Amino acid sequence: METCQSGLTYLFAKEAGASNPLASSNLAVSANVYLCYNICMDEIEKLKKEISQLKIINDNKSDIISITAHQLRTSLSAMKWIFKMFMEEDVGKLTSEQNELMQKAYVSNERMLALVNDLLTLSHSEDASVTYNFKKLNILHIIEQIMFEFFGETNKKGIELIFLPPEGSSFPANCDEEMLRVVVQNLIENAIKYSDKGGKIFVSLRQKDGNNIIAVHDLGIGIDDSDKDSIFKKFFRAKNAQEKDAVGSGLGLFTTKSIVEKHGGKIWFENALGGGTTFLVSLPIAK
């Protein structure tokens, strides 16, 4: 812009018959540059104010979601505990019909809880500019820790959770630890959800073509060919998934994909119907 303005000023000065158009234009150039500078600075200040206001609005939105989710969870926790107390017959014997209704109420409440949890995670994951805290981390340590946390649940459900030892011990990636945990946890939770008692889940980590590849393989219900294009869509739940587990919001894989992509990675799956599914996540190796 400065060069263009300088040229024009020189031409105007020459056209006007100035004795030394170059000298005249230099003074005018300085004035123009100064003017441009001021305009730019004003615009930058305006943008800074707008960014600051947007950040406040975004923070308020996050606070509202977090507080609302917390309040909803409190009420839903109370209902969960009460339904369970009835089902366990803590407060007296139930008829089989009453028990059946309580079970339905319990499952319905669990669905609502799953929805609240997933909406909260989704809101958090979409808040990339504000909340992601990228650091160079060894994802091997994060996965090992998550595996450890899941052993109690899988033991209780009679499912074997196996971590296949990787080659090497360094798997650096630039990631937000909390959000990466959501990714791995969601994949393992799904694998548990859609596995039968006595099933096995294999988790592995390797490096290929500049990426860390996390794989979670189960021997569960698999994904039907007709569902494969929809599996990462918001609120989508495959028919066989609904039959196997009524609790689920259809936001888990959508959120997982969104988080992986914010890390510059990819997520996909490979499966054989009836023979289980492998979900794979690639995350670039950090230099």
Structure token digits, residue 80: 């969960």
Residues 255-274, interacting with another protein (CB under 8 A): none
- What's the min distance (Å) between Cβ of 71 and another protein? 9
CB atoms within 10 A of CB 121: 22
23-55 as b/e: b if 16+ CB within 10 A: ebbeebbeebeeeeeeeeeeeeeeeeeeeeeee
Given candidates 28, 82, 128, 147, which one binds another protein under the rule CB under 8 A? Answer: 82
Contacting residue, 88, 196, 261, 270, with another protein by CB under 8 A: 88
- By CB under 8 A, residue 117 contacts another protein: yes
Task: Tell me if 78 contacts another protein by CB under 8 A.
Answer: yes
Q: How far apart are CA 33 and CA 250, in angstroms?
A: 56
Point out which span in 29-37, 71-79, 162-170, 236-244 binds another protein (CB under 8 A): 71-79
- Give the residue, chosen from 18, 28, 33, 76, that forms a contact with another protein under the rule CB under 8 A: 76
Contact between residue 277 and residue 270 where contact means Cβ atoms under 8 Å apart:
yes
Residue 80 binding another protein, by CB under 8 A: yes
Residue from 181, 206, 262, 266 touching another protein (CB under 8 A): that is 181
Candidate list 13, 102, 115, 120; residue touching another protein; CB under 8 A: 120
What distance in Å separates the CA atoms of residue 271 and residue 278, rounded to the nearest whole number? 6
Single-letter amino acid, residue 60:
N
What single DSSP character describes residue 8?
H
Q: Which stretch binds another protein (CB under 8 A): 66-74, 96-104, 215-223, 260-268?
A: 66-74
Residues 206-265 that bind another protein (CB under 8 A): none
Please report, for residues 46, 92, 173, the alpha-carbon distance to residue 85 in angstroms, rounded to integers and kept in the order given. 58, 9, 45
Residues that bind another protein (CB under 8 A): 70, 73-74, 76-78, 80-82, 84-85, 88, 90, 113, 116-117, 120, 124, 177-178, 181
